[in-house]
């Protein structure tokens, strides 16, 4: 593969992640965002693991400059980093089955980590088992949007990338480029 094609592939991957991050500042239902998809996509297609983590996190941080910062960001960003590592498991090839499993797993992990963060970092819920259960129960209505957004954006990003790769005749995903 020529250097020019390799650079085009990296540029396309970065552009998809950055564009996805900026969709967060557009009006959307609560939690219907590309966060999980960005992590999975970066983990699956970026060869350098540092960039696979830094690009989605950096894109999120840039969007958060416009959205504002909050006390549970460490939990959101931490879950994004873990989700990106799930994306590493997709490097051997993205199929409908492993993509769906990764998307559902990432959504569930995000729900568990961020709601735990709300409970642990805040003062709204008592710091006992009942408080933790109440916090998770209060987050259930948002989980549907998290899962829906994850499925929508993962499909859009992974399928869109494959279509762009085909159009530009980029044959080898960046994750396996030498």
**Which sequence spans correspond to the domains of the chain?**
3-170
What pLDDT digit, counting tens, does each position of 88-139 carry? Answer: 999 988 999 999 999 999 999 999 999 999 999 999 999 999 999 999 999 9
Q: What is the pLDDT of residue 18?
A: 86
pLDDT at 3 over 90: no
Distance of CA 164 to the CA centre of its chain: 20
pTM flag (> 0.85): yes
Query: 22 falls in which pLDDT band (50, 70, 90)?
Result: confident
Q: What is the pLDDT of residue 1?
A: 46
Q: Is 147 helix (H, G, I), strand (E, B) or coil?
A: helix
* Residue whose entry in the numeric block shows the structure tokens 């006992």: 128
What pLDDT digit, counting tens, does each position of 128-141 carry? Answer: 999 999 999 999 99
pLDDT at 50 over 70: yes
Pairwise CA distance, residues 103 & 97, whole Å: 10
Pairwise CA distance, residues 175 & 108, whole Å: 25
């Amino acid at each position: 593969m020529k250097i020019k094609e390799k650079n085009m592939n990296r540029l396309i991957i970065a552009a998809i992640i950055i564009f996805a991050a900026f969709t967060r500042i557009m009006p959307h239902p609560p939690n219907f965002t590309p966060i999980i998809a960005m992590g999975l996509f970066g983990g699956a297609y970026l060869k350098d693991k540092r960039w696979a983590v830094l690009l989605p996190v950096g894109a999120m941080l840039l969007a958060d400059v416009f959205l504002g910062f909050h006390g549970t960001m460490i939990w959101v960003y931490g879950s994004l980093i873990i989700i990106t590592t799930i994306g590493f498991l997709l490097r051997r090839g993205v199929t409908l089955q492993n993509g769906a499993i990764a998307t559902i797993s990432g959504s569930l992990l995000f729900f568990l980590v961020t709601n735990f963060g709300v409970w642990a970092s805040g003062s709204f819920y008592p710091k006992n088992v009942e408080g933790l259960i109440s916090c998770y129960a209060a987050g259930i209505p948002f989980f549907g949007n998290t899962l829906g957004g994850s499925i929508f954006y993962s499909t859009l990003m992974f399928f869109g990338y494959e279509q762009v790769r085909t159009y530009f005749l980029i044959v080898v995903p960046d994750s396996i480029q030498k």
